[in-house]
């Protein structure tokens, strides 16, 4: 049934015309009782429908406060004088009597058609000609009362109950009294003594809960902050190569996912628990009136969906600053569109609920819908003196919380699976360095030095008959960077073969474009070799890299540290990754801090953000050595240190190399001579020679006296070579 509020008479006058009549559309094929029937309808209408009917009608149609009385004969005002006087005293607004007429139609289809055309959008003239009520008595007789009543259901689904008026549907009472009066001549009535609002506790009068009425936007914004925070953290770890650092030290990708995901979930669950607890202490009814278990379920699923979305986008994005701008712009736009667009469609009763579900597939809208439902139920509970959303309310067909939770849970699981799959594919297909890659020009093949040739033969003998005396074997290892942005391909490492014994410290010397970083990147699994083979402790670096990570340590050229953690916390973390626990972990951390001089002055317990460049460098060396790895890779470990600290760190490295293999890269022959058992000189990606530090230095001094060096080598290159070997340059300076 449909109920329409009248704005003017049935003659089709414009909306601005004066209110003179109110039309009732009725159907009755029997003409006999109609006069009597309509007289009693309007007679009973006066005392029972006077207040709620008129106030809502005029407020919605004209946006003004005006009270109208429906009556057949407005000149008989004496009958309603007492009502007019009471209303005038209470409200001090204009009160008028409007004549009510009864319009007869032959069928319910005609009634439907006329009611529809009463809407502004239901007729071509765009005129408003709405009706107060419509009844169908055609199926009623003296022994059977069967009436169809039309009423306006526009606000039937409205959640806000703290309204100025309450729409009362008394049409069944009017029809029943009309029927009884037509049979009994006024002897029998369905009585209506009075109307009032729902009972309210006298000691706790209803009040407007600001948090529920206006906090949907704010609470949505608070919960949506998780997404940019998680995404920024993940991309920052990737961009700063901290994830690579953890992986090299033995943290498996799956374990990284579990640890990171669990950390974020626990962090934000604690955050939401604190928020709900604090808001409950403040008495915000948005939190106190709704069931806490429902709130926890909704927030928990919503948080997990946001974290999953962050893990999905992290492998694709790479710039932290850009991500910060984009995510906050996205959140701000989603927040506003949720209020201005989604809520509009949500409250539109003419829109199919299926479209609402489609819109809720967008995570921001599903989150907004859930918070919206909590707010509306808390308002309803506040107004009626009852509770907010309870578990039984989830079965309400108009309650969207159940659908929202199901949608978010399905999206959470699907997105998480896709995110992990994308992450693993990008890792397996990575062919470029995540660290600072060096790019080199191609060189022509050169005749190998005798010691390089002997090293290659040593490697080939091992390949035919492997032994355990070597920790590292490299055979024809090459790295070629593909063409990019119109630039030709670059050669990083070409045909490198090495056999490094257990307990040996092998140094790779070369300038900044020699290929040292490319070699270390391949050996640590950061990049894949273009061709060739390499083995660490008998394990293939391509097919068994996960097992290799449990046996190696790594000190990168650039310090990869968390600014908010202390030096001790760094060592504790990497010690646990290396399976150190309890007293063994504590002792290993203390020894590591002491060996690199980070104990004095409590430096080890300060945050890394307070460290100097040299302190960060020493911490990176300590991290590479903790957990007793069998093989350690170090890229220029003492760069940027003063002579005293450099010597101290050299002593720590010398102590560490007694029971492990160390490969370090350096541009200082002095450092190589102090630490290394053998040195390999790398230039343009090719291994030029291999010898002990003393023999290599003697070779250079002999070569320097040759006519070939004097006649063909430019002066600038002569000084560069002298600096490399720690000899005086043409200006007389010696670089330390």
Residue by residue, DSSP assigns 550-612 as TTEEEE-SS----TTSBHHHHHHHHHHHTT--HHHHHHHHHHHHHHTT-SGGGGGGSBGGG--
Antiparallel, parallel or unpaired: β 552-555 and 631-635: parallel
Question: In the sheet that 94-105 helps form, which strands lie side by side, from edge to edge?
Answer: 66-71, 94-105, 21-27, 133-136, 148-150
pLDDT class of 263 with cuts at 50, 70, 90:
very high
Nearest to 639 by CA among 735, 495, 501, 536: 735
d(CA 609, CA 418): 36
pLDDT for residue 631: 92
CA distance 311 to 163: 45
Q: Given this model, what pLDDT does residue 303 score?
A: 92
Who has greater pLDDT, 642 or 592? 592
Assign 487 to helix, strand or coil.
Answer: strand
pLDDT at position 719: 55
pLDDT, position 30: 41
Closest CA to 510 of 709, 728, 690: 690
pLDDT at res. 535: 92
Torsion angle of alpha carbons 243, 247, 250, 254, nearest 10°?
A: 90
Per-residue pLDDT tens for 681-697?
888 888 888 888 888 77
Token pair belonging to 616: 């960060």
pLDDT in tens, 609-642: 999 888 898 899 999 999 889 999 999 888 878 8
Q: How far is CA 714 from the centre of its chain?
A: 58
Nearest-angstrom CA–CA distance, 110 and 239: 71
**Poorest-pLDDT segment among 51-60, 147-156, 396-405:** 51-60
Distance of CA 330 to the CA centre of its chain: 11
Name the nearest CA neighbour of 441 among 686, 245, 679, 215: 686
Reading across the β-sheet that carries 505-509, which strands appear in turn? 552-555, 631-635, 661-666, 505-509, 678-683, 686-691
Distance between CA 258 and CA 661 in Å, rounded? Answer: 32
Q: CB-side exposure of 212: number of CA atoms within 13 Å?
A: 29
Reported residue count of the chain is 736
Distance, CA of 606 to CA of 601 (rounded, Å) = 10
Query: Predicted confidence band at 194 (pLDDT cuts at 50, 70, 90)?
Result: low
Terminal C-alpha separation, the chain: 96
For the chain, the farthest-separated pair of C-alpha atoms sits apart, in whole angstroms, at: 138
Task: Decide the pairing of beta strands 470-481 and 531-536.
Answer: antiparallel
Pairing of strands 505-509, 678-683: parallel
Mean pLDDT of 216-228: 82
The backbone torsions φ and ψ at residue 334, rounded to the nearest 5 degrees and listed phi first, read -65, -40
Q: Any idea which of 16-25, 486-495, 589-598, 671-680 has the lowest mean pLDDT?
A: 16-25
pLDDT tens digit string along 134-165? 778 888 887 888 888 877 666 554 444 433 33
DSSP string, 326-373: HHHHHHHHHHHHIIIIIHHHHT-TTS-HHHHHHHTTSHHHHHHHHHHH
For residue 160, count other CB atoms closer than 10 A to its CB: 12
Torsion-angle region of 426 (φ positive above 0: left; ψ -120 to 50: alpha; else: beta): alpha
Mean pLDDT over the full length of the chain? 75
Bridge partner list, 505: 662
Q: How far apart are CA 134 and CA 118, in angstroms?
A: 12
- Higher-pLDDT residue of 91 and 536 is 536
Q: Which of 76-85, 312-321, 428-437, 722-731 has the lowest mean pLDDT?
A: 428-437
The structural domains of the chain, with segments of one domain joined by +, span 21-184, 210-428
Instruction: Residue 700: name the closest of 716, 719, 721, 677 by CA.
Output: 721
Give the pLDDT mean for 34-61.
34
CA distance 56 to 64: 10
Are 435 and 244 in contact by the 8 Å Cβ rule? The answer is yes
Top-ranked range on mean pLDDT: pick from 73-77, 125-129, 302-306: 302-306
pLDDT at 705: 54
**pTM of model > 0.85:** no
d(CA 334, CA 631): 51
Bridge-partner residues for 491, per DSSP?
Answer: 480
Instruction: State residue 438's pLDDT score.
Output: 40
Tell me, what's the pLDDT at 305? 93
Per-residue pLDDT for 94 more than 90?
A: no
CA distance 148 to 105: 14
Mean pLDDT of 303-324: 87
CB atoms within 10 A of CB 148: 17
Q: Which of 271-280, 397-406, 429-438, 447-456 has the lowest mean pLDDT?
A: 429-438
Output the CA torsion 174→177→183→184 (10° steps).
-160
Q: Which whole number is the average pLDDT over 69-91?
A: 57
Q: Which of 288-297, 387-396, 688-697 has the lowest mean pLDDT?
A: 688-697
């Amino acid at each position: 049934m449909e109920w329409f509020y009248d704005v003017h008479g049935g003659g089709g006058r414009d909306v601005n015309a004066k209110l003179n009549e109110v039309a009732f559309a009725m159907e009755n094929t029997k003409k006999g009782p109609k006069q009597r029937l309509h007289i009693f309808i309007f007679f009973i209408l006066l005392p029972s429908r006077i207040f709620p009917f008129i106030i809502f009608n005029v407020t919605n149609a004209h946006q003004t406060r005006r009270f109208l009385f429906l009556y057949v004969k407005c000149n008989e005002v004496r009958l309603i004088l007492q009502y007019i006087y009471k209303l005038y005293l209470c409200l001090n607004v204009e009160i008028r009597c409007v004549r009510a007429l009864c319009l007869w139609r032959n069928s319910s289809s005609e009634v439907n058609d006329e009611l529809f055309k009463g809407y502004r959008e239901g007729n071509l003239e765009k005129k408003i000609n709405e009706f107060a009520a419509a009844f169908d008595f055609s199926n009623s007789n003296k022994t059977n009362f069967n009436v169809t009543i039309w009423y306006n259901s526009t606000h039937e689904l409205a959640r806000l109950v703290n309204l100025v008026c309450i729409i009362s549907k008394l049409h069944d009472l009017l029809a029943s009294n009309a029927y009884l009066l037509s049979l009994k001549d006024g002897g029998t009535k369905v009585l209506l003594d009075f109307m009032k609002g729902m009972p309210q506790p006298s000691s706790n009068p209803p009040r407007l809960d600001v948090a529920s009425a206006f906090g949907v936007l704010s609470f949505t914004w608070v919960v949506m902050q998780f997404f940019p925070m998680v995404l920024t953290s993940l991309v920052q770890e990737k961009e700063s190569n901290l994830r690579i650092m953890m992986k090299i030290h033995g943290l498996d990708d799956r374990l990284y996912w579990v640890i990171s995901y669990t950390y974020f979930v626990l962090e934000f669950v604690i955050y939401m628990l604190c928020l709900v607890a604090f808001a409950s202490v403040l008495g915000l009814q948005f939190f106190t009136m709704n069931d806490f278990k429902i709130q926890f379920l909704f927030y928990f699923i919503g948080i997990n969906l946001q974290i999953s979305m962050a893990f999905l986008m992290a492998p694709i994005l790479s710039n932290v600053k850009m991500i910060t701008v984009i995510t906050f712009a996205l959140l701000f736009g989603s927040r506003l569109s949720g209020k201005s667009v989604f809520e509009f469609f949500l409250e539109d009763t003419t829109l199919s609920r299926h479209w609402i579900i489609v819109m809720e597939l967008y995570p921001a809208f599903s989150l907004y819908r859930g918070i919206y439902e909590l707010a509306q139920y808390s308002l309803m509970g506040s107004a009626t003196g009852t509770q907010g959303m309870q578990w039984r309310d989830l079965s309400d067909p108009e309650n969207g919380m159940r659908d929202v939770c199901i949608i978010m849970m399905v999206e959470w699981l699907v997105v998480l699976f896709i995110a992990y799959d994308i992450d693993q594919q990008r890792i397996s297909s990575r062919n470029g360095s995540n660290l600072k890659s060096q790019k080199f020009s191609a060189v022509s093949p050169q005749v190998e030095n005798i010691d390089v040739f002997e090293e290659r033969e040593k490697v080939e003998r091992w390949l035919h008959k492997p032994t355990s005396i070597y920790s590292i074997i490299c055979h024809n290892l090459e790295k070629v960077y593909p063409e990019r942005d119109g630039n030709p391909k670059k050669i990083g490492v070409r045909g490198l073969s090495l056999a490094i014994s257990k307990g040996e410290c092998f140094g790779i010397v070369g300038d900044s474009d020699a290929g040292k970083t490319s070699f270390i990147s391949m050996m640590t699994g950061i990049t894949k070799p273009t061709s060739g083979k390499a083995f660490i402790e008998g394990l293939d670096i391509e097919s068994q890299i996960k097992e290799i990570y449990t046996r190696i340590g790594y000190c990168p050229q650039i310090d990869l540290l968390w600014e908010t953690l202390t030096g001790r916390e760094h060592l504790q973390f990497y010690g646990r990754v290396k399976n150190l626990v309890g007293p063994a972990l504590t002792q290993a951390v203390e020894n590591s801090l002491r060996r690199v001089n980070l104990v004095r002055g409590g430096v080890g317990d300060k945050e890394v953000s307070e460290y100097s460049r040299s302190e960060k460098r020493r911490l990176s060396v300590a991290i590479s050595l903790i957990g007793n790895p069998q093989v350690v890779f170090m890229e220029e470990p003492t760069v940027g240190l003063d002579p005293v600290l450099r010597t101290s760190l050299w002593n720590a490295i010398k102590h560490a190399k007694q029971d492990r293999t160390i490969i370090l890269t350096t541009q200082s022959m002095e450092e190589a001579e102090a630490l290394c058992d053998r040195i390999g000189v790398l230039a343009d990606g090719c291994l030029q020679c291999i010898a002990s530090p003393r023999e290599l230095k003697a070779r250079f001094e002999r070569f320097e006296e040759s006519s070939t060096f004097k006649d063909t080598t430019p002066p600038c290159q002569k000084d560069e070579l002298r600096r490399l070997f720690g000899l005086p340059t043409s200006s007389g300076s010696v670089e330390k």
